[in-house]
Structure 1
Amino acid sequence: MCGRLRFRGAWIVPMPPNREDGRGENNMEPKNSIAEVRGIMLDYAALTGVSPPGKTPRRYLWTDAFALCNLLELFRQTNDGEWLDLALRLVDQVHHILGRHRSDDPRNGWISGLDEAEGESHPTRGGLRIGKRLNERGPGEPPDEPLEWEQDGQYFHYLTKWMHALSRMSRVTGVATYAGWAMELAQTAHAAFVPASRSGAKRMYWKMSIDLSRPLVPSMGQHDPLDGYVTYCELQASAAAPGLSLQFDLKAEIADMAAICRGKEWSTDDPLGIGGLLWDAWRIAQLTDMGGFRDTSLLESIVDAALAGLQAFAEGNPLKYPAAYRLAFRELGLSIGLKVIVPLRGWSEKNLENPLLRKIEALAGYLSLAEEIEGFWLEWRNRETETWREHREINMVMLATSLAPNGFLSI
């Protein structure tokens, strides 16, 4: 059973598990999935150096954001302090590895440029590295598109995932510091990825250098503005939660993202992208209940895009291929997103009128895809292929999230 845990030399008493701010359970996962999730997350902790202490850690920001939410969900469901202890350790490792310069970089210390003491207090103020295998492309080096995928830097959509994970950490522990770090990360990321323009029109970069001084990929990711908009609204609402009240404000950043989102097309047939749209729709529903979101037209455009994407995905039927020709983490991103359909439909029946209600009800026609995807990747033989092993850590963590999605899908 969980008692007190130490955070920066002080004792904390976590919020009671199995309860989320009085809002109750969303019941997105079957009860018998928790044993599978426990096994996956213990393997992940050992494989990447979260546990045991002393092992050289290997951190990757996207994967670690999902992992942190999974550890918090395991604590919520089991009341076993081991999971919260692993979560605390993971946050510390992410900040002390991805918040600092690489070992193969002539620079050292915090990537923010802060001194050691200030960096410890504000570990996200310089953003966080992706955690790629190779160092970033140098200022004088020409771009190499295939190589860029293997080189370090900062991705906006990875930073937003960590903002969300830190916000969840703050909700579960009751420690406002985590929410403060998430807000600082949002302000830092926004200043770098959303540059000022002479015309006043806002746009975004897709990839920045480790120190956020220059764009590495200047084009804009299709869903980055939407991801930023909804995540900022989540942080703004969470910062005002009872017991957390923080002296941060993201109103200007939210206005910028709302402007970039206006009139954008969100449709995609990429399963991971469709899953992200569904998650954003559910976050908007939750934020609406909290009084932190009022743009129902955006919700409708997201649902329209998700429906179009699901139709295209189902018609193409990529799930018919053997494991060697499939990318598990992208399919599992869709499976995770599909888990919001039942609670989103319940929410819409109480809060919406036709035609948007009918559109959300139409999403339920694709629910069976989640079970099909999970069932396929739960089979050991499908996890023995090179495509699984090549992305093993992200595949493991996202399979665990799909099996127990509440920790990630809640705000």
Structure 2
Amino acid sequence: MASTQTLTHFVEAMKMVYGPFDHLTTPEAATHFTFPSNPGAGGHRGRYLWTDAFGVVNFVTLSRETSSDVYLTLAKRLVQTVHDTLGRTRDGTSRLPRATDEEPLKGGLRIGKLAATGPDADGQYHHYLTLWMFALNRLALAAQDRRYNDLAVQLARAVHPHFMVGGRSGGPPSRMVWKVSMDLDEVLVPSEGALDAVTGYVICRLLQRTAARMGGERSQDGDLLSAEIHDYKHLMEHGGRLRPRASRDPLDLGMGLWTCHLVPDEPWAAAMVEAGLESARFVMDETRGVVARDPSRRLAFRELGACMGLKCVDSGDELKGRADGVVNFWRRYLDETTDEDLRPISKVMLAAAMIPGAWKDDYLADG
């Protein structure tokens, strides 16, 4: 369990995004808590999918660290708030196309970008959606409520075909796309994210495993999400996607390590972790790596992603020590060196890097 001091810093970081929740003493009170839209998660109507995915998992961590159901209730409350905001059109008048009250995630979830149009417009990102699936999965395990994993499965099925570019004559997909429109119908960024196929495969396997454990449904063709897993695996095995990559982008590095640690039984994942740790020795070097730059040229949330990833794998005392050093730096200087619009995402990632908790696959194993 985390120290009292670390837990205090964790709560303070989360309060900056989600408001003064530490006065809540009962789950009933938490049920009626309203998350502020300002500062909020830094997105449209106060919600941003990546930030809130971290928020949900961090609340699960707080629940376990404090043995308090208040924080588990806040996680559930945040999930409902996100679904009611990012699962609806920007004016809030209707659910996204294809979604219904019975299947609220069948239309996917908006990113939460502030702009409706333009080069950085709202839409749907595959890597944000898979992160939200993970958050739902963690809540399902922590609350012992399979409905959240079922929602993640619903989301996985709904968005999967819209990010796939199919092969000829109905064959397997040849590649993926990075971003699609809010209604899932139009490709906005045709390039493929470096980790999209890998993350899709890993998260779908995780959802499948949890469904089997919690008595979830099975597809007519066999295991749940078997078609989606097959497509992701096909993409992974072609085009060099499983080639051990030594990314020197801290966020890419950290999220890659985190993703791979969820499938320790797969040799390709072990190879990617090994390559990632080698890269981390450069990235986290205080004399020549990213962390050696002037703070004005550094982005907290990207470095904190690397720190979280390093703490989810067996990275050794030296690298974990360097990660702790980066976390402590940003804990002291984040507010004065980070633009206001990046503070919410940086704060939730700071908390996760301080106490990875539910981000680690074995954390809820006894739940």
Normalising by the smaller structure, the TM-score range is 0.7 to 0.9
Q: Which 5+ residue runs of structure 2 have no aligned equivalent?
A: 22-30, 38-44, 363-367
Note if contact 1:327-1:388 (Cα within 8 Å) is conserved in structure 2. no
Name the amino acid aligned to 1:282.
Answer: H
Q: Which moved more, 1:187-196 or 1:221-230?
A: 187-196
**2:152 corresponds to which residue?**
182
Name the amino acid aligned to 1:371.
Answer: D
- Cα distance between partner residues in 2 of 1:162 and 1:318: 28
- Cα distance between partner residues in 2 of 1:206 and 1:47: 36
Residue of structure 1 aligned with 2:257, choices 278, 295, 298: 278
Name the amino acid aligned to 1:192.
Answer: H
Alignment of 1:102 onto 2:83: no
Q: Does the C-alpha gap of structure 1 residues 47 and 218 become closer, same or farther in structure 2, counting only changes over 3 Å? A: farther
Q: Does the C-alpha gap of structure 1 residues 36 and 314 become closer, same or farther in structure 2, counting only changes over 3 Å? A: closer
Residue of structure 1 aligned with 2:299, choices 327, 332, 346: 327
Name the amino acid aligned to 1:161.
Answer: L
**2:26 corresponds to which residue?**
none
Name the amino acid aligned to 1:111.
Answer: L
Name the amino acid aligned to 1:88.
Answer: K
In the TM superposition, structure 1's runs of 4+ consecutive aligned residues that sit over 4 Å from their partners are 54-57
* SS of corresponding position for 1:195: strand
Name the amino acid aligned to 2:186.
Answer: R
TM-superposed CA distance for 1:302, in Å, is: 1.0
Alpha-carbon deviations, 1:366-408, whole Å to 9, x = none? Answer: 22221111110111x44212x3433010000000111111112
Note if contact 2:150-2:216 (Cα within 8 Å) is conserved in structure 1. no
Residue of structure 2 aligned with 1:120, choices 101, 109, 112: 101
TM-superposed CA distance for 1:112, in Å, is: 2.9
Name the amino acid aligned to 1:318.
Answer: V
TM-superposed CA distance for 1:51, in Å, is: 8.2
* SS of corresponding position for 2:174: coil
Note if contact 1:374-1:399 (Cα within 8 Å) is conserved in structure 2. yes
* Alignment of structure 1 residues 343-382 onto 2, 5 Å: 344=314, 365-379=318-332, 381-382=333-334
Alignment of 1:84 onto 2:72: yes
- Cα distance between partner residues in 2 of 1:39 and 1:60: 19
TM-superposed CA distance for 1:77, in Å, is: 1.5
TM-superposed CA distance for 1:219, in Å, is: 0.8
Q: Does the C-alpha gap of structure 1 residues 233 and 317 become closer, same or farther in structure 2, counting only changes over 3 Å? A: same
Alpha-carbon deviations, 1:288-328, whole Å to 9, x = none? Answer: 4xxxxxx32x1233124303422442464221233222100
**1:391 corresponds to which residue?**
342
**1:267 corresponds to which residue?**
246
**1:70 corresponds to which residue?**
58
TM-superposed CA distance for 1:276, in Å, is: 1.2
- Cα distance between partner residues in 1 of 2:18 and 2:126: 25
Q: Does the C-alpha gap of structure 1 residues 382 and 63 become closer, same or farther in structure 2, counting only changes over 3 Å? A: closer
Alignment of 1:35 onto 2:8: yes
- Cα distance between partner residues in 2 of 1:94 and 1:178: 13
Counting matched residue pairs gives 334
- Cα distance between partner residues in 1 of 2:76 and 2:55: 12
Alpha-carbon deviations, 1:108-161, whole Å to 9, x = none? Answer: 4111334xxxx2221111110000010145xxxxxxxxxx2x310000000000
Q: Which moved more, 1:38-47 or 1:253-262?
A: 38-47
Root-mean-square deviation (Å):
2.4
- Cα distance between partner residues in 2 of 1:333 and 1:157: 14
* Alignment of structure 1 residues 226-265 onto 2, 5 Å: 226-241=198-213, 243-248=214-219, 249-262=224-237, 263-264=240-241, 265=243
TM-score, length-normalised on structure 1? Answer: 0.76
- Cα distance between partner residues in 1 of 2:61 and 2:277: 29
Note if contact 1:133-1:152 (Cα within 8 Å) is conserved in structure 2. yes
TM-superposed CA distance for 1:95, in Å, is: 0.4
Residue of structure 2 aligned with 1:129, choices 102, 105, 110: 110
Alpha-carbon deviations, 1:246-270, whole Å to 9, x = none? Answer: 3351111111111111132333110
Note if contact 2:312-2:359 (Cα within 8 Å) is conserved in structure 1. no
Name the amino acid aligned to 2:251.
Answer: L
Name the amino acid aligned to 2:323.
Answer: A
